[in-house]
Amino acid sequence: MKNTISYRIADFLKRYPPFSNLLGVQLETLSEEVSIIYKEKGHTIFSIDESAHPQFYVVHKGAVALWNLAEKSVLDICDEGDIFGLRPLMANENYRLTAKTEEETILYAIPIEKFKPYIRENRRVADFLVESFASNTRNPYDKSNRGQLLGDVVPSSTNHSNQLLDLQPVDYSQNIESVSTETTIKTIAQRMTSKRIGAMLIEKDGLPIGIITDKDLRNQIATGEYPITSKAKNIMSSPVITYPTKLTLTQAQMAMMKSNISHLILTKDGTVNTKAVGILSKHDIMLSLGNNPAALVKAVKRSATVEEIKPLRKGVMNLLRGYLDQHIPMALTSKIISELNDVCIKRTVELSLQQMDTKPPTKFAWLAMGSQGRSEQLLHTDQDNALLFEDVPDSEYEQTRGYFLELASLITKGLHTIGYEFCPADMMGSNPKWCQSLSGFKKMTTTWIASPGPEEVLLSSIFFDYSRAYGDKELVTKLSKHIFNTVEKYPIFLSHLGGSALMNPSPTGFFRQFLVEQDGEHKDFFDIKQRALMPLVDAARVLILSKNVPDISNTWERYEKMAELEPNNKELFLACGYATKALLRFRTKQGLLNKDSGRYINLEALNKEEKMKLKRTFKTIKEIQEVINIRFMVSRVR
């Protein structure tokens, strides 16, 4: 008679890779060795630096968060069918992350020694585990979610768009700087600085024996572990890891990940017994993949017309696509893309100024508002901006404003040319309402805060996320201080703003089904912006205003600041930041896939894993909305 429990385990595992690649009899045999583990919410399965367990894990039910405690951030959340804890299987090292249950969870513990034979016998099983471990991708067979190691999706900004990354050769530096083992650290640091390099090769008798990187200088010299007068031999990493010059991008990435290093030494025959002919860094790999924002920045700054910026904006989108394909962290991706967008906006303003007959009559600033102001506008969407200028005497006001309205019209037209649609609600600097002096904006925002109605709250929710894209910083600082001081005088405004943050309740209805649009053009589609992202954005805004913390407009940075200010709620705030990044990544990928804003999602086109990734953010939304409701006594103003 079959073991009913092991049969159920096998039936579950066969639905997910790598177990789906095992033969039925193999899976049944393995399932008899699997242990079932139940953990309550908040239980730590393993901690950073903990000795390796004799098994790795599969989530049967529930969710497990993988934490980088050093950075106080959640790197990933594993749910049904996900595998984690592969380090003892792949690297035989202590854990480098902490795994903690997000809710009640049932795990299947797969004994490593019993599983190893299947790895040796089945190439697809081995490939999946290597790729999953190296790229943190749990489903590389799903084309939309493949990691950078597989190379099935190559960023179109590369020069090798028709090649798989597996076959793409690396472009390494042949300009090698080397010293002897007796060279002082001070001399090495000076040479690295003057040569603008991140690593120094240590040689003996013309052969590579060690390497010193920027990281070694930080960890061993800057910390005081060794004095700067020490010799190279005291801190160098030795022996060096060498490879032949005929190396592919994938092989280089794998080698660096396997040994947790940032540089490879390339020699004539790939061993330490021949002369070094090149050195390869992680930065070199990024350049090989076409991820070179510096080149785009230079090109934008050299643009003589806005028409020249337009194709470069397409390059920014190609860069974004490449970052997503390579699973670059969303915070870094957003920062780079937003800075590139800012460069495009700044150059558009500069070119518009050149078209004006005279110089500006007074100081001014161009403000990016809404998602652009929060550094969260990654796709081509519409404009939200304003022009703020310095106070002038009443007799000069109309003439001054007329100048800036003309300038703003040139800017908004230029932005439209490079890919930003005009705002349907006309919230642009070319509209007199959004082109005002410092006193004018102070008066308008005071009215919103002191007498908040639905329209005033809506306007403030867009305007209060502004950031300076161009112009005078002091003007912007003065406006920000006024807004925060006024909010402090009228705390009732926070209740109204909190009420606005609760206008969109949990994105799921009965039976945890997605709440979709009921009619109109997007009927039966899920509005990820309105139902998932905006509740998190709105909550972060009212929370940061209540703490009187200016100069932070980005949503997850606001949550990170709240986690710092309120340690008791740290876990929730960090979860909100993580959920925001996860949703923004999802929306961006959908937008690139469908060539639109990514706002409305066809749920029928999503696979089970994608739906689960969306749903696991919804609980966080519900929890933060409960906090907003209680903290700002929203029921009193409804």
* Chain segment 341-352, per-residue pLDDT in tens: 899 999 999 999
* Chain segment 140-174, per-residue pLDDT in tens: 333 333 332 222 233 333 333 333 344 456 667 77
Measured distance CA(131)–CA(140) in Å, rounded? 7
Q: C-alpha angle 117/119/122, rounded to 5°?
A: 105
Res 485: pLDDT:
92
Nearest 10 degrees: Cα torsion 76, 82, 85, 91: -100
* pTM of the predicted model as reported, rounded to 2 decimal places: 0.59
Res 90: pLDDT:
67
Listed ranges 57-71, 217-231, 428-442, 522-536; the one with the highest mean pLDDT: 428-442
* Chain segment 460-519, per-residue pLDDT in tens: 888 889 999 999 999 999 999 999 999 999 989 999 999 888 887 767 654 446 777 777
Q: Hey, what CATH topology would domain 4-141 get?
A: Jelly Rolls (2.60.120)
| Distances, alpha carbon 55 to alpha carbons 84, 518, 526, in Å | 10, 47, 39
Is the separation of the CB atoms in 611 and 513 below 8 Å?
A: no
What does the block give as tokens for 111? 């004994």
Q: Hey, what CATH topology would domain 178-288 get?
A: CBS-domain (3.10.580)
Please list the helix, strand and coil fractions of the chain in percent, rounded to the nearest 5, in that order: 50, 15, 35
